[in-house]
Amino acid sequence: MNAEKLSKRLERVSKYIVPNGTLSDIGSDHAYLPCYAIESGLTSKAIAGEVVEGPYQSAKSNVAERNLASKIDVRLGSGLSVLTLGEVDTITICGMGGTLISQILEEGKEKLSGRERLILQPNINAESIRAWLQNNQWNLIAEEILEEDEKIYEIVVAEKTEVVNLSEAEMLMGPFLIKEKNQTFIQKWSGELEHYKNIMKRLETAQQNEKNEEKKSELVHKISLIQSVL
Ligand code: SAM
């Protein structure tokens, strides 16, 4: 992957960047997304934040090689701590687990002015992001699900507008994705359903105790939620 030929996943993320503003990409290994956003004229300025020295150096050298250092500021630090309040229009956090993305948002809450657009791309557990957004009065404005290299990814886009409370199924599977119910969505949740049913089978043959009974009733609930949508 390079900035000219961005992955399909990051190319889809880039569609939601607020035009002509400042982008901040947090966890910006190689700074591919900021480079692409500047080179294709989506934004005029960008900040690439990275917490690990190696990826930070890769981002810095990639930006320098492309002569973009005057437009992309590469900053070393954890999560939103590299930002000052109100300096960006779009924040992207991509290619991590949903729990880590939610943790980055929670730890960096005071750096959010509420005027930004958040574009979050979890590899797993998008549910925890939807829960964080709802608990912090951010509203979903778009979602996407896509497959690339036999992996399924979700993209969750949010702004601080009037909050619509999500149902349990919407929290788990995504309100926009449920409405669209495309082939990739069906493939993902059919797979999850099989996975939960297999766990259920194993629990049924396992020793009966309070902990297993609790797990079984959680699974029954999850299975019926997914079946109600599919
Ligand atoms: N965002 C890129 C993408 O989607 O292709 C890179 C994803 S890579 C799997 C995750 C990157 O996030 C790693 O470079 C990692 O060091 C960085 N990262 C993890 N936790 C972070 C944090 N709290 N703050 C900033 N960067 C973080």
Instruction: Give Rg (Cα) of the chain.
Output: 19
Retrieve residue 74's tokens.
């590469």
Task: Quote the distance between the C-alpha of residue 218 and its chain's center.
Answer: 25
Instruction: Map out the domains of the chain as residue ranges.
Output: 8-164, 185-229
Residue 82: what residue type?
V
CATH topology of domain 8-164: Rossmann fold (3.40.50)
Distance between Cα 52 and ligand 1 center (Å)? 8
Residue nearest to atom 16 of ligand 1 (CA): 52
Closest of 26, 42, 13 to residue 111, by C-alpha: 26
pLDDT value for 42: 96
Distance between Cα 100 and ligand 1 center (Å)? 10
Q: How many residues does the chain have?
A: 230
* Main-chain dihedrals φ then ψ at residue 181, nearest 5 degrees: 40, 60
Question: C-alpha angle 178/184/122, rounded to 5°?
Answer: 80
Q: Which atom, in ligand 1's list, is nearest to the CA of 28?
A: 1
Distance between CA atoms of residues 118 and 167, nearest Å: 21
Q: Which atom, in ligand 1's list, is nearest to the CA of 55?
A: 14
Distance between Cα 44 and ligand 1 center (Å)? 23
Average confidence (pLDDT) over 195-202: 93
pLDDT in tens, 58-68: 999 999 999 99
pLDDT in tens, 14-44: 999 999 999 999 999 999 999 999 999 999 9
Band the pLDDT of 4: cuts 50, 70, 90.
Answer: low
Distance between CA atoms of residues 224 and 102, nearest Å: 26
Check if the beta carbon of residue 49 is closer than 8 Å to that of residue 73. Answer: no
Distance between Cα 55 and ligand 1 center (Å)? 8
pLDDT in tens, 101-121: 999 999 999 999 999 999 999
pLDDT in tens, 89-105: 999 999 999 999 999 99
pLDDT value for 144: 98
Among 7, 11, 26, 106, the mutation site with the greatest number of ligand 1 atoms within 8 A of its Cβ is: 26
Which residues are near ligand 1 (CB < 6 Å)? 26-29, 49-52, 55, 78-79, 94-96, 104
Question: At CB < 8 A and 24+ separation, what contacts does 208-215 make?
Answer: none
Band the pLDDT of 207: cuts 50, 70, 90.
Answer: confident
Distance between CA atoms of residues 230 and 228, nearest Å: 6
Among 2, 5, 35, 50, the mutation site with the greatest number of ligand 1 atoms within 8 A of its Cβ is: 50
Band the pLDDT of 208: cuts 50, 70, 90.
Answer: confident
Distance between CA atoms of residues 143 and 104, nearest Å: 20
Closest of 117, 121, 110 to residue 83, by C-alpha: 110
pTM, 2 dp: 0.95
Residue nearest to atom 17 of ligand 1 (CA): 27
Distance between CA atoms of residues 89 and 115, nearest Å: 7
Distance between CA atoms of residues 115 and 117, nearest Å: 7
